A = this chain, B = another copy of it.
Amino acid sequence: MEGYIALAAGLAIGLGSLGPGIGQGIAAKGALEGMARQPEAAGDIRVSMILALAFMEALTIYGLLIAFMLIGKIA
């Protein structure tokens, strides 16, 4: 049984960074290209970019939370 719980923890964090990882890249690309096109709006764009990246970071952190809880069941 513990093997499956470990596998579940591995998949929770392994799969859980796939979507947000790609998403953060797409969002950051938009922000960085926007800064190059409008350097005077760079500050405003950077704040919004960090806000968006934080939303996506949270998705993986939920996976990390579940992985921790599952590992706590192994010992």
**Chain B residues with CB under 8 A of A17:** 15-16, 18-20, 59-60, 62-63
Within 8 A of B (CB), among A12-50: 12-42, 44-46, 48-50
Chain copies in the assembled complex: 14
The size of the chain A interface, using a CB distance under 8 A, is 70
Closest Cβ of chain B: how far from A39's Cβ, in Å?
4
Q: Which residue, of A4, A20, A51, A57, has the highest number of chain B Cβ atoms within 10 A? A: A20
Bound: A67/B22 CA distance, A: 21
Bound: A71/B74 CA distance, A: 12
**Chain B residues with CB under 8 A of A36:** 33-35, 37-38, 41, 45
Point out residues on A near B: beta carbons under 8 Å.
1-42, 44-46, 48-53, 55-67, 69-71, 73-75
